A and B are shown apart, each in its own frame.
Chain A
Amino acid sequence: KAGVTQTPRYLIKTRGQQVTLSCSPISGHRSVSWYQQTPGQGLQFLFEYFSETQRNKGNFPGRFSGRQFSNSRSEMNVSTLELGDSALYLCASSLGGLANTGELFFGEGSRLTVL
């Protein structure tokens, strides 16, 4: 079955702009998590959605937001972009039920460059 799909794969924005990234989870998966990956900070948790509700949130400013749709697809938005937002944004999906194994299936990521 198809894996986690993220779009766009690459994008370039300028400071002050906003960006929306999209993630389609594996069919049947109801949990979608977002992570930011940078060389300096590594992989950092942004937020997790389950059944259209944000269930967990990391320590990022309010400029970072997300949502999940009824078909489990998710989007994240970053407003008022800063140079430091340049990163690989990874989406991961999982079944999301109480029998959580923690196994996340990651997409290839969206590489954001802020100029």
Chain B
Amino acid sequence: GESVGLHLPTLSVQEGDNSIINCAYSNSASDYFIWYKQESGKGPQFIIDIRSNMDKRQGQRVTVLLNKTVKHLSLQIAATQPGDSAVYFCAENPNSGGSNYKLTFGKGTLLTVNP
């Protein structure tokens, strides 16, 4: 599962490089997953989601990969830009079949993009 320490995992990349942020989720019953981005002083912002019947989904410059066998989720950001610097959270919804908004969030990863 996610780290429970006080320090966020960090990832530092150069502008233009691709970034990969990883997340281990805990509930094998979860069948809906979301990635959020949180910039300093702001609330989390939806990036991309994926259902458990898929193993890959692409958005604009972002790709989410899901490996249910090992309960692992990753977010790939292509051509990372300084504006991508933020904390990234994965979240799981164990009851996506119904109207349930009780998301479980990971601890987050701090992405720093160096110009």
B-binding residues in A (CB < 8 A):
4, 31, 33, 35, 39-40, 42-45, 48, 50, 55-56, 58, 90, 92, 94, 96-98, 100-109
Contacts and interface: CB of A to CB of B under 8 A. Distances in A.
Contacts of B42: 108
Given A39-B6, A44-B105, A45-B104, 15 more contacts: A35-B105, A42-B105, A43-B44, A48-B100, A56-B101, A90-B44, A92-B101, A96-B99, A100-B99, A100-B101, A102-B49, A102-B101, A103-B34, A106-B36, A108-B42
B99 A108 contact: no
Q: Size range of the interface on B?
A: 20 to 34
20 contacts: A31-B101, A33-B102, A35-B105, A39-B6, A42-B89, A42-B107, A43-B91, A55-B99, A56-B101, A56-B102, A90-B44, A94-B101, A96-B101, A100-B99, A101-B49, A102-B32, A102-B96, A103-B49, A106-B43, A106-B44
Main secondary structure of the interface of B (DSSP, over half): loop
A109 B98 contact: no
B43 A4 contact: yes
A102 B93 contact: yes
Contacts of A98: 98-99
Contacts of A94: 101
Nearest to A30: B99
B24 interface: no
A42 B46 CA distance: 17
A57 to B, nearest CB: 8
Contacts of B43: 4, 90, 92, 106-109
Nearest to A103: B46
B99 A58 contact: no
A103 B49 CA distance: 8
Contacts of A45: 102-104
In the complex, the 7 A-B pairs of residues with the closest C-beta atoms, listed nearest first = A106-B43, A43-B105, A56-B102, A48-B101, A102-B93, A42-B107, A33-B101
